[in-house]
Structure 1
């Protein structure tokens, strides 16, 4: 029978209540007996059921290089969960830019350790805890490449997967009892790495090597954010006793040194990283290999571990130019051009767009700019014909709420400039509240867009113009609903007043004459409208 071990997590400055549950560890509810290993779940089951997420189907799963060993529970590989408290261990669920949860992010994952997984359970009441696993007395050539000493008791899980999208992501935390005492001792620091190999992966070459350093021409993707520097105790710490020089300590969490269990009830390890993300670009439809490994260096003391979660290939998601959308809808203002972005690089991919299910001929780019409402759908295939992604988004530009301004034409005599009444505010509002809109008039679109030199309100009813088609620009700002801004224009034309005479022969006429009579016209000039 398996019991649950209740912990109170204090992580990253936030206090949260959670349970750390290890699938293969029995915990005495009375706290009298030490945790006991119980072989409930194998590495292969943990990878398949608890590590991978959307877009990933693992196969050829091995533990320490052996497929059969992956089917047998191990003391060094465990499922961890945190009782559905999504902030436990610092892991957060994946949400899109609008707060919509996009993957299965139940608070679970895979724990890999240099000793027994039970060491992970808090409180932190020991500054150097370790539980040896004799059957794991094996090293690893890739881990050996990133340290200067021998590697022992390595925990290694590896598998293949097909790329169903362009990017691989997963989250991880590295934790160790070697913090902080051995932060500046790289020759004994336990090591870990995530070694990815496959098409398009540029292999690491570590000096003095001149050829790829890792097996399968792999690349280590366990990196400090924004760098090519591997995550390690030496590369992420706050010095000896957590008071020394900062080395990427933005990504470091001090969990005490085993002397204050009441203050450090979360996990046993003295220090660990914040949640970091491993990521790599993939080629859709290709097969990749990942090796996840952690090992002791120099001795089998001071255990270390890696928590891994959310191993997934994100689906394509259409957004606007800023990466925003709400429930697959992009809202635009009256006159906005709306950019729809796929986030997929052009490369050799094929992009097919439809608008309201109708193919958009000649539109073959990763992003498009549209001015019409409707449903836009994108389908992307790789050069090999693999479906990279398919998504649709609805563009909903709010309709212009006012009347369109009318052209202004007046009949004139003599030479200009002529006086025009260009004030169309009341006409355009058409009964809407004037307090909800700001309407200003300009002599050019540039002035209107930049708010420069508006036509004074007192001049609107007697604006002087040559009347030769001059455009007046109106800037409309919605102050009440959505803050939209739009621009409209109307022309000013002055036309000559018509003149001439007409008469009827034999007038006056009696009222009883019903036959049509033709007028006599003379001296006519054109004009008017």
Structure 2
């Protein structure tokens, strides 16, 4: 290969300016050059817990991108085999040169895995080229624990090697290598994960699985997934947005290595964009009447019940503090606890919460009328009430011992009433006050009735 010719291309690319609005924006300043920040706060979505984050490479190779509508993802993280800022329009993607990671002869390393992936492509597409070494590797890796049996995340690959260097030794390469319970693969894995790893960066529906490189997706092969470079990024071509997927075991620990590198030289870089919050494992949803429980408090009419229903899909188990294990339980007022775990004997609790069911009376007591006692010490006051709601067949219990609906012939004072309906629901009304007519006052004028009889009030 003529390196002088490639360097000439680099010179031209560097000095041709582009000034177009709407381009993808990339940030490589703190905290957007921090691997932990990029993984925990940008890439990770719901249903996964990540830990033990590490990075191999130069932190100028990673960053945060936004305004990525043109490539099919609004925002996320970018990993490159050069400078991350070079993927931005107007940058210099070919200028990234981070030599010293040439490791195809070191079995058991991630760079050797990339070397194996790059050289697995030619025979799968009927070509005879080979990649001599791996350079400028950029590797993000971490442990994660999924909540469900599936892991997914979205990504897009782009390269300055398009289209001049397809089917050549300059076959830039990337891979997503996952290891953990239930996974066996031909690639290396870290200590604690003894069964190797699998690469899940694969051309969709390819059989046998075909890794994604500039030589496996281009106008001549798998062209339906290829897009020519546009005015919003510096790469000459890029793929559609793909979804990486792996079948996993809930609540078990897995390890993933996201890696990209130059093939055979240090020039004309490539990058992979990973969508924000897409690294996820579908979580479990619990609901009542199909509505997700946010406050975890429900109100029901007295002496009635409610169905608490889980909207579980997949192989999950639910356990209520009542002992019930069904998706739907019918309950009255009370406090209920539940937990959700994966089926097939896996007791890991994926989700737990408390539901409080409150009993609310539907009875209403209204005082229609009341009359005061006609005189001090008199017993001719009355209270007239009306009860609505509940189930008719009301009973009454007054504070003076009466069981009638209304009171009459009572003295002045404070009264309360307890009303029960036919189902036993109750409502209490306190502090019903009746007074009495006032007696003589200093201004009262008394005159003779000329009969000689006593008069009183």
214-223 or 292-301: which moved more? Answer: 214-223
C-alpha contact (below 8 Å) 1:166/1:388 kept by paired residues: no
Match of 2:114, SS? helix
Aligned residue for 2:213?
Answer: 232
Q: CA RMSD in A?
A: 4.1
CA distance in structure 2 between the aligned counterparts of 1:39 and 1:48, rounded to whole angstroms: 12
Structure 1 pair 362–301 and aligned structure 2 pair: CA distance change class (3 A): closer
2:421 alignment counterpart: none
Q: How does 1:48-447 map to 2 (within 5 A)?
A: 48-64=40-56, 74-77=59-62, 79-82=63-66, 85=67, 87=69, 89-91=71-73, 107=75, 109-123=76-90, 129-134=93-98, 137-139=101-103, 140-148=111-119, 149=131, 150-183=133-166, 185=167, 187-201=169-183, 203-204=184-185, 212-216=186-190, 217-227=196-206, 228-239=209-220, 247-255=221-229, 264-309=230-275, 310=277, 311-317=279-285, 342-345=312-315, 351-352=317-318, 361=324, 363=326, 379-382=339-342, 383-389=345-351
Q: CA deviation at 1:19?
A: 5.0
Q: Is the 8 A contact 2:49 2:146 kept in 1?
A: no
**Contact (CA 8 Å) 2:32, 2:64: kept in 1 or not?**
no
Cα distance in 1 between the residues matched to 2:337 and 2:246: 26
Q: Write the distance in 2 (CA, Å) between the matches of 1:55 and 1:296.
A: 33
Deviation at 1:112, TM superposition (A): 1.0
Query: For the Cα contact (< 8 Å) 2:38–2:64, is it kept in 1?
Result: no
2:23 aligned with 1:23: no
Are residues 118 and 87 of structure 1, via their aligned partners in 2, closer, same or farther at CA, if it must alter by over 3 Å? closer
- Shift, 1:175, TM fit: 0.6
TM-score, length basis structure 2: 0.55
How many Å apart are 1:41 and its aligned residue? 2.9
Q: Secondary structure at the match of 2:33?
A: coil
TM-score between the two structures when normalised by the length of structure 1: 0.48
Total equivalences in the alignment: 295
| Distance in 1 of aligned mates of 2:312 and 2:353 | 9
Q: Is there any run of 5+ residues in structure 1 with no aligned partner, and where?
A: 1-5, 10-16, 25-37, 93-106, 205-211, 240-246, 256-263, 320-324, 330-338, 394-529
Secondary structure, counterpart of 2:71 in structure 1: helix
> In 2, distance between residues paired with 1:51 and 1:136?
28
